[in-house]
A and B are shown apart, each in its own frame.
Chain A
Amino acid sequence: MLWHKAWLETRWRFIIALLILTVMAASNVFDYLATQRLLPLVDTTVVPPAAEATGLGGMIRDAIEIQKDFRGFIWYQAFRQNLTQMGVFFAILLGCGGLLHESSKGSVLFTLSLPVTRKQLLGVRTGAGLTQLFAISMVPPLAISILAPSIGQHFTMVDALAHGICIFFVAAVFFSLASFLSTLFADIWRPLLIAIGIACAVALASVAVPQLAIFSVMNGESYFRTGSLPWAGFLTSAVIATALLYSAAETLERRDF
């Protein structure tokens, strides 16, 4: 029944996340035809000298080249941008809340009077959250695969699953971060805002420090470009997520209510 409770507490966040991400993925599919009509009109040889000097010109040309076929367009628009950015946001949103947040609503004393340990309570909530996260990671890519034939294009299920797994592993890090922060703050806003702040900081820092390029793991760049999954990135993400969830469990265990 703890699973049922966790589901009831998070179902609207999950359903909204699933709907928004799926609609975004679907709209990317249907945007492809319009984009294909516009792309030939873009003259990639005319790039301002300033942009050329900073390397921006090369990036623009690369972006246009990539998006000339459907697989590249979907990777660039959906996986590199929409699903990565919104996926991080919804992962954080799903990770927020929990036992400490219940204390601000008063029902925490009832929950804590049940014959279960705090680790069980956190474990069930984490399990439910990660299951939801897995669903919001996998369904949008699969929707792309299902909808692509409707515009005469093809996106394999294998590609969809591979990208879904890439999204899930890194999103799990931000979910775990939000879960950990939720054992420190009773409200839902501080964990949400701090985790989003950390995600933005990591995104900015990864420009200068390539080792921090966690979002290139999430968007499956290596799989898109070379066909190989980022196993090292998966392992690193799993280790970080586990460490954060362990810290959350220890913090919760020591806390007085």
Chain B
Amino acid sequence: MSDRHVIETAGLWKRYDEVEALRGLDLQVPSGSIFGFLGKNGAGKTTTIKVLLGMARPTRGEARVFGKAPSGNDGVDVRRRTAFVSDEKDLYDYMSVAEMIAFTRSFYPRWRADLEQQYLRKFDLQPGRNIKELSRGMRTKLAMLLALCRGAELLMLDEPTSGLDPAMAEEMLQALVGHVAAQESTVFFSSHQLAEVEQIADHIAIIDRGQTVVSGALDDLRGQYRRIQLVFEGNAPEIKVHAPGTHRVRRQGRVLTVLSSSGGDAVLEELRGYRPASFEVSPVSLKDIFLESVKTED
């Protein structure tokens, strides 16, 4: 485990009764990064976050945040340095906005009173309002305020924009990016929204069925991943591609499509032997990488 990584997991397993939510998850989140954590529903994203915050204990393997085990005695220190926003943004219904802020503030010595006032104005939150009266969007804003003002080194956000309209989601993302730029913290956030991940993340990991299937700097991944499409005179041949970095080979009539994570040159070299009529190498989007990575085998 290194100092360069705020979060590291190695061979992390988590079993709930008969369900294996995590199956050997390896993850490294660089310090100072905005890390998008992607996966289908049930892939293990929320379970990973729960393990990283000490809410669930790993069945086996290792999870470290700031080099410490969150489910052990160091869990309190991990949580003191981490701000968390859950998917549901459920807060205490019996408190007012001001009470909720005062309650949360009492646990964080590095609480940023200046940011609190700034975000109260920016998010148009009225301190006297009861939380049970707030809309989902306003609850999300309050949850974000409570996270951003903690003076935390790590922001851990589970689906931060889920259930928000596009305008409010954009407002949240801008607040997040602005905060990270000013405070030099690390952001680890899970999301289904690939567009917003592409918008703000510099590193990503895609998990599927409890395992990491893609991980790295987003620019590097965009540079490495290529779609190679070959068109043949007759039906495309049934072939097995041996070139390293080959992710998926799909045959459809005369067209053979290969997704490669190693630039595509080696794949193209190998496939030229099959004498295609034409070929095309094109860059792929994060959506393509995601869909190819988590696609269920036929």
CB of B95 within 8 Å of the partner chain:
yes
CB of B103 within 8 A of CB of A112, answer no
Q: How far is the CB of B162 from chain A (nearest CB, A)?
A: 13
Q: Which A positions have Cβ atoms within 8 angstroms of B? A: 1, 4-5, 8-9, 105-107, 109-110, 112-117, 254, 256-257
Closest to B78 in A: A115
For chain B, give the interface size range. Answer: 20 to 34
Whether B92 lies near A257 (C-beta < 8 A) is no
Q: For residue B100, give the distance in angstroms from its CB to the closest CB of chain A.
A: 9
The reply to whether A114 and B102 contact each other, CB–CB distance below 8 Å, is no
Q: Apart from A107-B91, A112-B54, list 11 A-B contacts with CB within 8 A.
A: A1-B102, A8-B92, A105-B93, A106-B90, A107-B92, A109-B90, A110-B143, A113-B84, A113-B86, A114-B104, A115-B107
Known contacts A4-B103, A117-B75, A117-B76: does B53 contact A106 (CB below 8 Å)? no
Give which listed residue, A1, A107, A113, contacts B79 with CB less than 8 A: A113
Q: Hey, which bits of chain B sit against chain A, CB under 8 A?
A: 16, 50, 53-57, 75-77, 79-80, 82-84, 86, 88, 90-95, 102-104, 106-108, 143
Closest to A4 in B: B103
Residue of chain A at shortest CB distance from B94: A8
How close is B20's CB to chain A, nearest CB, in angstroms?
A: 14
Question: Given A110-B86, A117-B76: A5 and B92 within 8 A (CB)?
Answer: yes
21 contacts between A and B (CB under 8 A): A1-B102, A1-B106, A5-B103, A106-B90, A107-B90, A109-B84, A109-B86, A109-B88, A109-B90, A110-B91, A113-B55, A113-B82, A113-B84, A113-B86, A115-B76, A116-B76, A117-B75, A256-B16, A256-B50, A256-B56, A257-B56
Flag if A256 contacts B57 (CB, 8 Å).
Answer: yes
Minimum CB–CB distance for B277 against chain A, Å? 56
A112 touches B53 (CB 8 A): yes
* Residues of chain B lying within 8 A (CB to CB) of residue A257: 50, 55-56
Nearest chain A residue, comparing its CB with the CB of B53: A113
Check if A114 sits within 8 Å of B88, measured CB to CB. Answer: no
Assembled-state Cα–Cα distance A252/B55 (Å): 11
Question: Distance (Å) between the CB of B210 and the closest chain A CB?
Answer: 15
- Sorted nearest first, the 6 A-B pairs with minimum C-beta distance are A106-B90, A115-B80, A113-B84, A1-B106, A256-B56, A109-B86
- Please report the C-alpha to C-alpha distance between residue A106 and residue B93 in the assembled complex, in whole angstroms: 10
Give bound CA distance, A5 to B95, whole Å. 9
CB-nearest residue of chain A relative to B77? A115
Chain B residues closer than 8 Å to A109, beta-carbon distance: 50, 55, 84, 86, 88, 90
Contact A256 B107 (CB under 8 A): no
Q: Which of B84, B90, B107, B143 contacts A116 (CB 8 A)?
A: B107
- Complex Cα distance A5/B82, Å? 21
Once A115-B80, A256-B16 are accepted as A-B contacts, the answer to whether A106 and B103 lie under 8 Å apart by CB is: no
Question: Measured between alpha carbons, how far is A8 from B75 in the docked complex, in Å?
Answer: 26
CB–CB A1/B95 < 8 A = no
A105 touches B90 (CB 8 A): yes
Residues of A contacting B54 in the complex (Cβ-Cβ under 8 angstroms): 112
Q: Please give me the residue from chain A that is nearest to B56 by CB atom.
A: A256
Q: Closest residue to B102 on the A side, CB-wise?
A: A1
- Which A residues lie within 8 Å of B92 (CB)? 5, 8, 107, 110
Query: Is B94's CB under 8 angstroms from A110's CB?
Result: no
Expressed in whole angstroms, the Cα–Cα distance for A257 and B107 within the complex equals 21
> Complex Cα distance A11/B106, Å?
21
> Is A9 in contact with B90, judged by CB distance below 8 angstroms?
no
Chain B hits for A5, CB < 8 A: 92, 103
Question: Residue on A with the closest CB to B49?
Answer: A109
A187 to chain B, nearest CB (A): 17
Minimum C-beta distance from B95 to chain A (A): 7
Q: Do A112 and B76 touch (CB < 8 A)?
A: no
- Which chain A residues lie closer than 8 Å to B16 at the CB level? 256
A107 CA / B85 CA spacing, docked (Å): 11
Q: Is the CB of A1 within 8 A of B90?
A: no
Docked pose: A254 CA to B71 CA in angstroms: 10
